[in-house]
Structure 1
């Protein structure tokens, strides 16, 4: 037997290269159904990051998935800049069609697959490019699709109006803006428009600044007048300190909703009176688990009422499961599959509507579109596509769910991925370098699924730990509200606590700890480098670094007042904004870092990153600004360059040969 070679951590040979990771980066998403047809979105990193539409048939299992939307069409919405569900398959003129938002101009288009004419516009071209944006299309009255419209009315990011609108499918609104009818409006932010089964009522969710949708929202119900507009609206659930994130009609008098009134997002049943008012919501599964999450994108479905009267539901804490809920008894029956993470994007398919479609994954399985039979709980995968490159089983990192102790004894949830490679080992005296990964949001969650980016590093001998710091979702309202007024403190302390704990127990080398994050994770990374001395280097991606600038016009409308809860009231708390900002401590950063940014980012614009660079001292650093990228990297060439640059930084700081192009550090 050949002895396994002893090689330094970081220098282990790996079959997982950056090119293959980048080529297949992303996951299928936003499933929809039309009878036995199942649709979903798929990213195409090799095609400039466009998003296409695919479909498969439940009654043709041997046919496999087919791409529906040809290049260069790109089904992606920019509402809130984070978008949401961008399309709706439907019957139009006796044939299958799809309505979708085209990324390049944000107009709605109607497309009949197979027709030579290609997609045709349904909404008008605005005077300013992309000033009219659409998301979360749903079935409306006959001959219409209803959706959320975001209208940019002026030059400032906050010059925005939103409404639930009805768009005719005959194309008349493409030339006549007046043909788009406003169904409902009133609050600054709107989500989840739903028409009742009898067409007589409409429901939606709304909220106003400075609240975010995980803080306080209102569920509103209104009658639908003869002209197709909402009349006599009533707020029937939600309110200050309560977050309702979804509502679905069971019948014309019943709504099933997801609210965190108990401190956890749980499902409720709400009965409406003839006058539009409502009885008190009844909890269906009052558990210390989450059946909901943050509305970063519009269109998720954690619960799905079925024709049988049962409800499909995604629930859990550190991981999620798919279950079938009986609303009468409260019985919750988990579906037995190998998947440990279910996306909250449930839809019903099949002629009887008793097949649940979802996107699911596990630490061994990449995200895939799954069809689950409610009758016998059998399941099958409809897509084996773009969840990542083929990671050989022996190189798949194994997640270890851990709870660490933070300051004051508080719990900090994290997932540890140790280095894993069957073809190499390190010397007994050497401990591995580790990278602390900080998720974005900050109101978000890191999930334990097969991630080729993690495997890219662990297969080379670099450990990864994902930290669900205080403020993360999945652990109840109290856990996510630890960050109120404490952003830049609690998140940094928790990341530092996890890093130190791994070093103290001998899992990680205390002298070779890195931190890495994007967006809000980029903020925490920059803050950790500026305010602590634990990390030997950092990778900062499309970050927030200047709170004053971000609060006074350097971001989009959706998050323009997010800092009111994360930091404090503006301008009364201005001193806190300035004290917390890494840009004001840039000269004190002593650990080498890599800063990466998209030049079209409207959420964390390049001006923030460039301002940090202007103030750094003599610390070695590199700045990569990628053309054509927005918030997050979608193009294969960008993803590859970013991964190789990150590995190059670690190689230089931690002292190993990476075998990738060296990123030039200045000064």
Structure 2
């Protein structure tokens, strides 16, 4: 595999990764004496290969007898299916298990709607393979049976659940052509026995989260353009009889209210919706009566960028069907933990919360959860960047099912994460600051470290107070990292999320500049050695910052960043095809605003070195978006590098590409910032 580099206008081809990595320092020992070394050249235990092999864990699914999930294969970057039977975790099948619905995927595992509690239930799951997007049934022994015909990934599946009779309810996305208007998203009932598929819900732009209840009841979510699911999403319920839904009714959400999570409690529905300004927990009876259960002033839900990944589970009391413990993931000020909400159903069918309390989670960051074996299985991220699947029981027991090691296990490599706020009132913004830390090195006392500003994608995403491998790669080398939750980020309530409406390319640009400027003013970083970097929407903001009339950055890196907003609106995929109506304005009325906000319109203001990374197969932000910026930098004679990775889409997965990217980015910053040489780094 080859990556093309363009440096200072000269094209050269170099194999990725570009050369062998230096040997890793020994781990597990804290040096008695730290050596003073130049910032940016500390001997780091976190190699580019470590980032390439860092694993994601997702898709928690219970079959009652076992817990299933996918985990990244460090050698290939593919998602492999794993099964835990209470004793051992065993990999199953050689399939790359990933959905491509909405392009972002998620929900690639489907388990039974009613997992067995006595170990006698279905011992299989249904999975989606990445290459063809076909469905396969995988048994406990790893044998796979193909359920659907190949379509060249024109038909895609996700968010499925297996009914008691063996039929599957799932989201089906059909690509009739190559544009966003030629894509159909439907809720489908599939009979694997004969391959017949019946459309249950086909009249919505987008659909998600099919959730079976008792007596044939089914709940699901829909939303329509130009809304994204966090703008407005409706919870529906209907009763499945044969291949048709009857008695369909809107239960909650819609008209500017977003429902995020849902679950059944007997014949009642629980959901989190944000009519109060936060995703709080509500109870709904099918006769229409509604009760708000929590008053957390925090989000008990999340933006549905991907399918699957639920964050609400009901643990019913086996001795009393009118009592239950509801487990929800709560996000407050960007950090996520667990809450236990005790519910009691009264004689008249109404509900009252018996208690709401914290469920201590040492990690503090819960990505998804599911009920299993009388408790809750979670995917968690630890402060040191390690990941784990854990089973938590109501009596306080914790079992680690599977773990992904942190990027470094030396105590001296892990510094504190500082929550930073900048500005006041409507201009207030948030960031997590990670200062340099290394067990074997320290910087000169008369200098401040260089800064790398991380910008998340979305822009309706958010970053966590966690020293990930990507952050540790920089901090252990002597860079400070500011991970910014600019206005528009999730995790701070609806008002903060909506603060970017009509202001994308303005408000978050001001936030990024304000955070970096303030850190330099406080003397925490070197104001002459600051870089900004981001991917996708974060790449757009990176380019918008670097083409702003004034900014404090010495250079920047854009991975598959948006340069031309009008082109993005015209050519992006269905899920986001109307996203910019909210972030910028509707077209054609706002065409002048699109031009003004596009970095491409202001490339004449680009005045600092730029690194651009792009995948050849990106359908969200096509390579043309990156190439126009590279051409502008070349025309101005600016120092620039362009890395084009064959076969990569919207995000880089192949280990050799991830390693090549980080080596190139490190070399780029060292060169631009004049950090000097140090052979030990």
TM-score by length of 1: 0.91
Equivalent pair of 1:648/1:661 in contact (CA under 8 Å): no
1:176 paired residue number: none
Equivalent pair of 1:69/1:113 in contact (CA under 8 Å): no
1:614 to 626, 631, 647: 631
1:313 partnered with 2:343 = no
Alignment of 1:283-294 (within 5 A): 283-294=292-303
1:30 partnered with 2:59 = yes
1:435 is displaced (CA, Å) by: 0.7
**Residues 661 and 12 of structure 1, relative CA distance in 2, 3 Å threshold:** closer
Q: 3-state SS of the aligned residue for 2:672?
A: helix
Deviating above 4 A after TM superposition, structure 1's stretches of 4 or more consecutive aligned residues are 90-95, 657-662
Equivalent pair of 1:27/1:368 in contact (CA under 8 Å): no
**CA-to-partner distance for each residue in 1:473-502, whole Å, 9 max, x for gaps?**
111110011100000111110010000000
**CA-to-partner distance for each residue in 1:317-372, whole Å, 9 max, x for gaps?**
121111211123252222223111011x221111xxx2100111221351210100
1:536 partnered with 2:558 = no
TM-score by length of 2: 0.89
CA distance in 2, matches of 1:559, 1:435: 29
1:17 paired residue number: 47
CA distance in 1, matches of 2:63, 2:382: 27
**Residues 639 and 391 of structure 1, relative CA distance in 2, 3 Å threshold:** farther
CA distance in 2, matches of 1:3, 1:228: 71
1:231 paired residue number: 246
1:409 is displaced (CA, Å) by: 6.3
Equivalent pair of 1:243/1:261 in contact (CA under 8 Å): yes
Q: 3-state SS of the aligned residue for 2:660?
A: helix
1:168 paired residue number: 191
Equivalent pair of 1:366/1:388 in contact (CA under 8 Å): yes
2:147 to 112, 116, 122: 122
2:484 paired residue number: 467
Equivalent pair of 1:397/1:455 in contact (CA under 8 Å): no
CA distance in 2, matches of 1:601, 1:446: 23
**CA-to-partner distance for each residue in 1:264-287, whole Å, 9 max, x for gaps?**
0111000112xxxx22x2111122
1:217 paired residue number: 233
1:595 paired residue number: 612
Query: What residue ranges of structure 1 are gaps of 5+ in the alignment?
Result: 174-178, 663-667
1:642 paired residue number: 661
User: What is the root-mean-square deviation of aligned Cα atoms in Å?
Assistant: 2.1
1:390 is displaced (CA, Å) by: 3.7
Query: What residue ranges of structure 2 are gaps of 5+ in the alignment?
Result: 1-30, 318-323, 344-351
Alignment of 1:364-383 (within 5 A): 364=384, 366-374=386-394, 376-383=395-402
2:361 to 325, 337, 352: 337
2:83 paired residue number: 55
More strand by share: 2
Q: How many aligned positions are there?
A: 628
CA distance in 1, matches of 2:72, 2:679: 26
1:3 is displaced (CA, Å) by: 5.9
Of stretches 314-323 and 82-91 in structure 1, the one that deviates more from structure 2 is 82-91
1:446 partnered with 2:468 = no
CA distance in 2, matches of 1:365, 1:526: 28
CA distance in 2, matches of 1:28, 1:214: 24
Q: 3-state SS of the aligned residue for 1:437?
A: strand
1:267 paired residue number: 281
CA distance in 2, matches of 1:453, 1:398: 16
Q: 3-state SS of the aligned residue for 1:648?
A: helix
1:513 is displaced (CA, Å) by: 0.8
**Residues 659 and 149 of structure 1, relative CA distance in 2, 3 Å threshold:** farther
Q: 3-state SS of the aligned residue for 2:149?
A: coil
1:642 is displaced (CA, Å) by: 0.9
1:207 paired residue number: 223
Alignment of 1:475-486 (within 5 A): 475-486=492-503
1:86 partnered with 2:100 = no
1:356 partnered with 2:376 = yes
CA distance in 2, matches of 1:392, 1:419: 14
Q: 3-state SS of the aligned residue for 1:478?
A: helix
**Residues 392 and 657 of structure 1, relative CA distance in 2, 3 Å threshold:** farther
1:41 partnered with 2:70 = yes
1:388 is displaced (CA, Å) by: 4.7
